[in-house]
Structure 1
């Protein structure tokens, strides 16, 4: 398995360098600026600068990460440098005979880009991100990690639901869910969870550790959560009713469910992100809730929880077999609450494979 992974990394690096019109390509991760690119190309999970050419490559990092880099990259050239973010990087370019280097414009700061140019020793060339383009299509190995991340997250939620009681607050529930996911085989959680209750479920990106609202009978209870396995992240949302749901709650839930199912039935290779979004948006609009669905239908998932392709009215992406995306329509009504149902899917030539499986056919009661 280890040898297979290294072969994959080498092939990925070769595809990147073939796609750039320069002597080299630079991926740079400082304080979380671009961990996904370096991990995708080498397996390294720390901070450093990756220089690729058609002849060789090197990973620059400092003493905090040198041994980690050697373990995680298994044979890839590592160079320890205290100044890899500045002079050490310029010296590496000079030593490799590089005068022109491509960088992904959205992955590097303007300040750093300008600093490279001011050195007078290398000319940076801003390009569209070639690594993000490669990462759209997932290998069987990547799909296995994503499936496992979905399974671990859903197993944790199943266990948690039996423990939920009236009066528990959002933060307490979120912490318990995170602990259950970490108890599994995940390397961590996929992102900070949104566990929200009542009127807070109308907030798309809610922080339960700020609100800490206790759950009450009659509330919606929404979980937006996921696990991380081998760096790959699931992203799942399920909405429940605390106690018996009202007729209005059932109507909102059923409307979102119809949109979710319609989009899943429609998506396929060759469909645009705009077309996929329209399927769910039209379904919700037909039920009279057009103004209550403000975000896009979905996004890619992988080493990042939000990555290409995107499914929205403004998307420029076309779906292809092997891409992994979320399908997450929602309705959000201020003062009432919101419902979102989010599944993770793999695009296929015939349609899609849904890799999440938590029941959603009705508004489930908890508490």
Structure 2
């Protein structure tokens, strides 16, 4: 049985070809692993050639046998060299003047190889079309993402069993990551942005939650060392301080993003108040998140509510990041962006993670994150673990 149904792949290819026609592309070569899987059903080492008209051609370097087993595409060939790649594409009979490639992620040295391979052909960036194509999810994709959300519900319940005063952030993360792996998590999270590696997400506590880092999100944490300066560190978890579990559940390549705050002992009142404001922001955005709404409008609503609550300083980080949420799917940073100057307009079946968070320098963080699907009546939750602060008795 193929990893992705044939009808699903055909629909995706057809949608990409329509966008290519509108933008003057005569063909595209898909290389990036998430995109390749999306359009072909395999993550093997391969090039997917998509002509603007006609059937795509999957050209596999390694492993051909696995690609054939994975992909429902009709035309799959084995190629061992760039010269074979060129011959295979030229042999389709498509005279290509404008060829699309994913220039947002393709290294310059690789790009130059393809320039030499196809002289006289304009190589242009097809990645905006790919990301537009991918940002609206099919019923098939939504069903898988709901299974990822179910995995996260069980993981967050497990936190209540293992969280103890005095254990380090790394110890807690080891318990949770082992739980994930035992239940089928792929072990890493795909991120398209350059230099933004993520394995499972972040586990941080107390003052570490307010440590700025290279992470593009509101929180970052110190990490274990200067070479990986984000996420869990070696700090022991103390009483009455926030412990944030911001983890990405994954099933069959698809992800959901979710965060909850735990305490050993009762939380301080200022954190309870900020948490309640975060929930209020989430609920306001849920109601306003209708198809046709500008994504920037949701961000503006959150800013106004944070200002009214006198919590604007530290909202979405310290210093703040200019967004409230982001699309998720095969990658953690998909379209749409729910943020300042976002060009995106909500459409039904977009999937977004909404994460209102407040940073208190030197003390910690209050906030929440859930994944939602855009519906005709507003945002509908995919992730369902209790939103409230979770307290483990001392």
TM-score (norm 2): 0.85
Match of 1:196 among 204, 218, 225: 204
Q: How far off is 1:314 after superposition?
A: 2.3
The 5 A counterparts of 1:115-194 are 115-119=113-117, 120=119, 122-188=121-187, 190=189, 191-192=198-199, 193-194=201-202
The 5 A counterparts of 1:66-85 are 66-83=64-81
Q: Alignment partner of 2:239: what SS?
A: coil
- The answer on 1:99 being equivalent to 2:96 is yes
Match of 1:309 in 2: 336
Match of 2:39 in 1: 41
Match of 1:218 in 2: 240
Q: How far off is 1:315 after superposition?
A: 0.9
Query: Is the CA contact (8 Å cut-off) linking 1:150 and 1:355 kept in structure 2?
Result: yes
Match of 1:8 in 2: 8
Change (3 A) 1:3 1:325: closer
Once structures 1 and 2 are overlaid, which stretch shifts more, 308-317 or 331-340? 331-340
Change (3 A) 1:128 1:152: closer
The CA distance in 2 between the partners of 1:141 and 1:331, in whole Å, is 35
Query: Is the CA contact (8 Å cut-off) linking 2:184 and 2:251 kept in structure 1?
Result: yes
Q: CA RMSD, aligned part only? A: 2.2
Match of 1:320 in 2: 347
Count of aligned pairs between the two proteins: 359
The CA distance in 2 between the partners of 1:18 and 1:232, in whole Å, is 25
Match of 1:241 in 2: 263
Q: Alignment partner of 1:268: what SS?
A: coil
Q: How far off is 1:4 after superposition?
A: 7.8
TM-score (norm 1): 0.91
Change (3 A) 1:147 1:332: same
Q: How far off is 1:108 after superposition?
A: 2.5
Match of 1:205 in 2: 220
Q: How far off is 1:75 after superposition?
A: 4.8
The CA distance in 2 between the partners of 1:125 and 1:249, in whole Å, is 49
The CA distance in 2 between the partners of 1:362 and 1:231, in whole Å, is 29
Q: How far off is 1:209 after superposition?
A: 4.1
Change (3 A) 1:265 1:56: closer
User: Deviations 1:19-77 (Å, cap 9, x if unpaired)?
Assistant: 2123311111xxxxx21211111111122211012223222222x32111111104532
User: Deviations 1:259-309 (Å, cap 9, x if unpaired)?
Assistant: 222222321111111101111221111111212122211000101111000
- The answer on 1:275 being equivalent to 2:301 is no
Change (3 A) 1:50 1:216: same
Q: How far off is 1:316 after superposition?
A: 0.9
Query: Is the CA contact (8 Å cut-off) linking 2:40 and 2:73 kept in structure 1?
Result: no
Q: How far off is 1:194 after superposition?
A: 0.4
Match of 2:278 in 1: 256
The CA distance in 1 between the partners of 2:393 and 2:251, in whole Å, is 28
Once structures 1 and 2 are overlaid, which stretch shifts more, 153-162 or 97-106? 97-106
The CA distance in 1 between the partners of 2:4 and 2:100, in whole Å, is 28
The CA distance in 2 between the partners of 1:311 and 1:251, in whole Å, is 24
Change (3 A) 1:77 1:207: farther
Change (3 A) 1:354 1:75: closer
Gaps of 5+ in 2: 190-197, 212-218, 226-232
The CA distance in 1 between the partners of 2:365 and 2:208, in whole Å, is 8
Query: Is the CA contact (8 Å cut-off) linking 1:170 and 1:195 kept in structure 2?
Result: yes
Change (3 A) 1:67 1:121: farther
**Larger % of helix: which?**
1
Q: Alignment partner of 2:235: what SS?
A: coil
The CA distance in 2 between the partners of 1:324 and 1:99, in whole Å, is 35
Q: How far off is 1:13 after superposition?
A: 1.0
User: Deviations 1:140-180 (Å, cap 9, x if unpaired)?
Assistant: 11111111101101211202211211111111111111111
Change (3 A) 1:138 1:207: farther
Gaps of 5+ in 1: 29-33
Match of 1:31 in 2: none
